[in-house]
């Protein structure tokens, strides 16, 4: 029998329920599906035997507590995951199983073989020799991002309740909606949650531990032209689309997503529209380094200022909004939360994979609310689409890691 008998069945039950979040929604959570799913989680968490199970009315996060079984003063640990899925077909998810994968075969997702998992395209498949893989049938995503995290956190709590000989402090569980549309963590209630240090269990492959993210801003550029008849335009027309192209050309050419990697930041033009009369450019600005991030925003505004000077009027209006910051700024003040995870991985013979994330996690916001929250692997690969898959064995190891962190925190208190 599997060590965590409900881990995979619970995961399969959850992925079959459509929890796709709705971009640009004005409600919290972003749709009714998520509310219903949250209510189901409450029942399941209560059935496991957890305490203080409730839905936070403001955030729609589901919170639960596993009480301590030691008298020691242990830091309260939190484990967080999201149950919404990305913006991709999530109707009738039909998980497929590849048992004892040989590490080199091409896996057919649909019967016709239109979609495949091919190690030549997805080299990480080679890491899963001997594993049982759970894949899609090619028509939907899988939702391992992040129902694997949900199932792992629940399995670890269930295991600890069944094994009182494993001593641990109080453990808080937070399962939330709308991570994929970037709004879920905005409503996270650190006080209601009640942890001292926490982890999102929302990373990818085995061993991943992330505590460094981008600093992030969204930047909108509104350009106003002067539209006259082209025949009589000389010296009069200001073509907003031309000004938009000039604007983009004045940004550093190298600093684009397609030219950068590692710790290199960028300006990413993700949408543009324009006529002679007006034009609109939408960017995101990213950098791991806070100072360089601030400098990037200044440079961006500087380009607008320069163009306004050239045209002698306020034709280019820039609005920059910070989205999240590099959690490292918070976490490096006390590395306990990272050290615990690293030690847990090492004791379980899992090689820690620690790299700066070229993006954000829920933890990048939650850390700045005062709760240091790095990100642990949950196991998913190729997230957000039909090629998503996860290994059962990796999910078991992620569960092992959660339990080990709880154990170590108690032992070191
Ligand atoms: Zn995720």
Instruction: For 259-316, write each residue's pLDDT tens digit.
Output: 999 999 999 999 999 999 999 999 999 999 999 999 999 999 999 999 999 998 899 9
Q: 258: CA distance to ligand 1 center in Å?
A: 23
Residue 1 confidence (pLDDT):
65
Given 84, 152, 212, 396, the catalytic residue: 84
Catalytic (active site) residue 179: yes
Residue 388 to residue 233: CA distance in whole angstroms: 54
Of 220, 227, 229, residue with least CA distance to 247: 220
Give the pLDDT confidence of 78-112 residue by residue, as tens digits.
999 999 999 999 999 999 999 999 999 999 999 99
| Single pTM value for the model | 0.92
At 59 the pLDDT is: 87
Catalytic residue among 179, 287, 362, 381: 179
Contact 269, 284 (CB under 8 A): no
- Number of C-beta neighbours around residue 319 at 10 A: 9
CA distance 113 to 108: 5
What pLDDT was estimated at residue 217? Answer: 97
Tell whether the torsion through CA atoms of 111, 114, 120 and 126 is positive or negative. negative
User: For residue 180, which phi and psi values (nearest 5 degrees)?
Assistant: -70, -20
Cα radius of gyration rounded to whole Å, the chain: 24
How much distance in Å is there from the Cα of 250 to the middle of ligand 1? 35
Tens place of pLDDT for every residue, the chain, 413 residues? 689 999 999 999 999 999 999 999 999 999 999 999 999 999 999 999 999 999 999 889 999 999 999 999 999 999 999 999 999 999 999 999 999 999 999 999 999 999 999 999 999 999 999 999 999 999 999 999 999 999 999 999 999 999 999 999 999 999 999 999 989 999 999 999 999 999 999 999 999 999 999 999 999 999 999 999 999 999 999 999 999 999 999 999 999 999 999 999 999 999 999 999 999 999 999 999 999 999 999 999 999 999 999 998 899 999 999 999 999 999 999 999 999 999 999 999 999 999 999 999 999 999 999 999 999 999 999 999 999 999 999 999 999 999 999 999 999 99
Q: Does residue 392 have an active-site annotation?
A: no
Q: How far apart are CA 88 and CA 92, in angstroms?
A: 12
CB count within 10 Å of CB 47 equals 10
Residue 201 host element (H or E):
strand 197-203
| 222 CA → ligand 1 middle, Å | 32
- Expressed in angstroms and rounded, the spacing between residue 36 Cα and the centre of ligand 1 is 19
Ion ligand 1 contact residues with beta carbon within 5 A: 145-146, 202
Contact 19, 34 (CB under 8 A): yes
Q: Which residues contact 200 (CB under 8 A, 6 or more apart)?
A: 80, 81, 149, 361, 362, 363, 366, 373, 374, 375, 376
């Amino acid at each position: 029998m599997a060590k965590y008998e409900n881990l995979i069945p619970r995961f399969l039950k959850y992925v079959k329920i459509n929890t796709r979040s709705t971009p640009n929604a004005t409600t919290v959570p972003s749709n009714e599906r998520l509310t219903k799913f949250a209510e189901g989680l409450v029942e399941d968490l209560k059935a496991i035997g957890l305490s203080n199970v409730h839905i936070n009315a403001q955030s729609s996060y589901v919170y639960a507590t596993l009480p301590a079984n030691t008298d020691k003063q242990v830091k309260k640990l939190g484990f967080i995951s999201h149950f919404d899925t990305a913006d991709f077909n999530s109707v009738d998810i039909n998980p497929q199983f590849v048992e004892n994968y040989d590490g080199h075969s091409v896996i057919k997702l649909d019967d016709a073989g239109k979609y495949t998992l091919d190690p030549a395209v997805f080299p990480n498949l080679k890491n899963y020799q001997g594993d049982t893989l759970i894949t899609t049938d090619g028509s939907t995503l899988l939702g391992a991002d992040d129902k694997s995290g949900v199932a792992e956190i629940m399995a670890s709590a269930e295991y600890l309740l069944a094994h009182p000989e494993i001593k641990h402090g109080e453990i808080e569980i937070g399962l939330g909606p709308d991570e994929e549309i970037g709004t879920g963590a905005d409503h996270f209630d650190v006080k209601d949650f009640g942890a001292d240090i926490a982890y999102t269990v929302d990373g990818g492959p085995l061993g991943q531990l992330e505590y460094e993210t981008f600093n992030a801003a969204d930047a909108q550029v509104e350009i106003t032209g002067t539209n006259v008849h082209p025949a009589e335009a000389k010296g009069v027309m200001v073509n907003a689309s031309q000004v938009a192209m000039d604007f983009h050309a004045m940004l550093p050419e190298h600093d684009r997503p397609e030219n950068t990697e590692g710790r290199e930041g960028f300006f990413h033009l993700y949408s543009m529209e324009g006529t002679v009369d007006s034009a609109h450019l939408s960017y995101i600005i990213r950098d791991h380094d806070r100072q360089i991030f601030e400098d990037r925003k200044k440079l961006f505004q500087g380009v607008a200022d320069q163009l306004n000077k050239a045209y002698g009027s306020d034709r280019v209006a820039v609005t920059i909004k910070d989205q999240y910051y590099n959690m490292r700024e918070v976490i490096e003040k006390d590395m306990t939360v990272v050290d615990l995870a690293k030690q847990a991985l090492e004791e379980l013979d899992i090689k820690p994979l620690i790299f700066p994330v070229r993006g954000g996690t829920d933890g990048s916001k939650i850390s700045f609310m005062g709760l240091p929250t790095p990100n642990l692997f949950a196991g998913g690969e190729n997230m957000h689409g039909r090629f998503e898959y996860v290994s059962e064995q990796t999910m078991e190891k992620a569960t092992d890691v959660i339990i080990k962190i709880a154990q170590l925190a108690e032992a070191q208190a």
